[in-house]
């Protein structure tokens, strides 16, 4: 969403819509078939599997074929649910009347076309097994923890691929989830009746889900329901209409670097306040129903006043909302988290801080270099290259920055790098000290420029790249030519001896 409220260097918080859903090849639905008639044509092994699947869903299956594989008789005698009736003859168009669903195992094109035409004429959804061109719907690869069911579809393009994904999901979903899903179904009415508001009910089910994931190996008991209800009531009484704020580190950009705790916070948020530097895929972890407000902050660009962001955060929490204040990197490393903590404490708002992967951590991982290698660094220091006035801070300790036994990470240094380089070398740092400028770390647009502390400003200016920039320098970052080739940096680096 384009922010139309920026004027000059001033900007106001702006509501943003969730990203539009990408196009779907098919609509995923779960069809209730209990007590309904299902027509099946074919007596082969593929038809047998579909008959078992339909019966497991509670359908009354009428199967038509001149011959059936042997296992059909056993299925008809002992279906998993519903019923299976075998009709030893060819199908007829009138057999489709009253059917909720029609499935056929056919290889002959003319027969398949006739079956599909008859089904459509009768208004019955139709599927021809392994013939997607004839299908009004398709079956997915199933993970069965009923009533928890997961289905995976590739729109008929690659069934083996769907099966491979299914096997991986099978490994991730404990078999015990079946018991917890059954308990959720049994407890739903009682749990919802105790929830005073929609937010209270959602919070109960979040707690239920957390317990199910943590203790999936054991069966749920009535005491779990009572404990969850009591905890929800205690939280409601404690809040007394006041909300909660989470200061959450979004990491440098790659959504896979967001912590699991951070994902849970976003999924339970009523409102998400986020900066421009937070990548959209991270914001998309929030519930679609959550309100999203951009409180944009970009280096040297239009920005919301911090006091305005603080006031909005406190007001929303005061109205009872669960607010996530989402910040790039880590909220407590040059993220103004301290100012927001002070405001929350002064306003009596309950809050928590969830750390994120900092830009310096991401930079070290990108370079495959330890920032605290014991042969080269006794100290790691984080400094800002950007003061409140937009200039290089006067209070920097130049002797510490010139220490050859330190590794230094400079945040927001792109516009002040020339002055920083001159002053740190004047303070005694060797001009050939290895230095890197890293822009848009962990994102598709990532660029890494390798140089020395003396030559980096010129190389960064020549690259003319915009985006969040981290500068790091120190002997611990020294690399060989072979290392540089392995790292495949986006811009060919100057050799650092």
**What are the beta bridge partners of residue 101?**
38
Concerning whether 108 is annotated as a catalytic residue, the answer is no
Nearest to 267, CA basis, from 248, 243, 293: 248
Three-class SS of residue 386?
Answer: coil
Which of 276, 297, 327, 330 is catalytic? The answer is 297
Q: What tokens appear for 400 in the block? A: 């510490």
Name residue 274's beta-bridge partners: 294, 326
Of these residues, 95, 254, 275, 276, which one is catalytic?
A: 275
Burial (CB < 10 A; 0-12, 13-18, 19+), residue 310, is buried
Distance CA 453, CA 442 (A): 23
Mapped onto helix, strand or coil, the DSSP state of residue 389 is: coil
Nearest 5°: phi and psi at 414? -60, -45
The closest alpha carbon to 252, from 409, 75, 53, belongs to 409
User: How far is residue 50's CA from residue 101's CA, in Å, rounded to a whole number?
Assistant: 12
297 catalytic, yes or no? yes
Q: 151 with 29: CB under 8 angstroms?
A: no
Q: Looking at the chain, how many residues does it have?
A: 497
d(CA 176, CA 208) in angstroms, rounded, equals 14
Q: Which residue in 362, 351, 345 sits closest to 250, CA to CA?
A: 362
Which residues participate in catalysis according to the annotation?
Answer: 275, 297
């Amino acid at each position: 969403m384009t922010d139309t409220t920026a004027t000059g260097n001033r900007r106001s918080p702006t509501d943003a819509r969730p990203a539009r859903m990408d196009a779907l090849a098919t609509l995923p639905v779960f069809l209730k078939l209990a007590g309904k008639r299902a027509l099946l044509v074919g007596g082969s092994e593929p038809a047998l599997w579909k008959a078992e699947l339909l019966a497991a869903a509670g359908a009354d299956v009428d199967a038509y074929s001149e011959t059936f594989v042997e296992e059909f008789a056993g299925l008809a005698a002992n279906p998993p649910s519903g019923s299976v009736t075998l009709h030893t003859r060819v199908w007829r168009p009138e057999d489709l009347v009253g059917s909720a669903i029609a499935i056929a195992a056919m290889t002959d094109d003319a027969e398949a076309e006739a079956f599909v035409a008859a089904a459509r004429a009768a208004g019955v959804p139709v599927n021809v097994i392994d013939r997607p061109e004839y299908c009004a719907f398709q079956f997915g690869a199933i993970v069965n923890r009923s009533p928890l069911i997961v289905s995976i579809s590739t729109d008929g393009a690659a069934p083996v691929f769907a099966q491979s994904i299914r096997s991986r999901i099978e490994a991730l979903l404990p078999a015990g989830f079946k018991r917890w899903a059954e308990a959720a179904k049994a407890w739903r009415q009682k749990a919802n009746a105790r929830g005073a508001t929609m937010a209270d009910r959602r919070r109960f089910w979040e707690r239920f889900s957390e317990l199910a994931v943590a203790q999936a190996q054991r069966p749920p008991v009535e005491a779990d329901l009572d404990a969850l209800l009591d905890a929800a009531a205690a939280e409601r009484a404690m809040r007394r209409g006041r909300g909660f704020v989470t200061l959450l580190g979004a990491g440098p950009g790659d959504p896979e670097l967001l912590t699991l705790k951070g994902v849970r916070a976003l999924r339970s948020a009523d409102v998400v306040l986020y900066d421009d530097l937070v990548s959209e895929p991270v914001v998309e972890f929030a519930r679609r129903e959550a309100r999203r407000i951009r409180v944009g902050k970009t280096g040297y660009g239009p920005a919301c006043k911090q006091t305005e962001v603080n006031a909005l955060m406190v007001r929303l929490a005061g109205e009872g909302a669960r607010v996530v204040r989402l910040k790039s990197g880590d909220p407590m490393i040059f993220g103004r988290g301290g100012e927001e903590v002070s405001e929350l404490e002064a306003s009596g708002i309950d809050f928590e801080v969830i750390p994120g992967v900092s830009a310096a951590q991401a930079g070290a991982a990108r370079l495959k270099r330890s920032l605290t290698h014991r042969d080269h660094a006794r100290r790691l220091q984080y400094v800002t290259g950007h003061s409140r006035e937009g200039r290089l801070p006067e209070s920097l300790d130049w002797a510490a920055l010139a220490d050859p036994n330190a590794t230094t990470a400079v945040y927001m240094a792109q516009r002040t790098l020339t002055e920083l380089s001159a002053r740190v070398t004047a303070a005694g740092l060797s001009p050939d000290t290895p230095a890197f400028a890293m822009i848009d770390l962990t994102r598709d647009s990532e660029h890494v420029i390798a140089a020395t502390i003396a030559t980096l400003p010129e190389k960064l200016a020549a690259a003319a790249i915009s985006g969040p920039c981290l500068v790091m320098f120190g002997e611990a970052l020294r690399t060989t030519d072979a290392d540089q080739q392995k790292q495949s940096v986006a811009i060919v680096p100057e050799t650092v001896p």
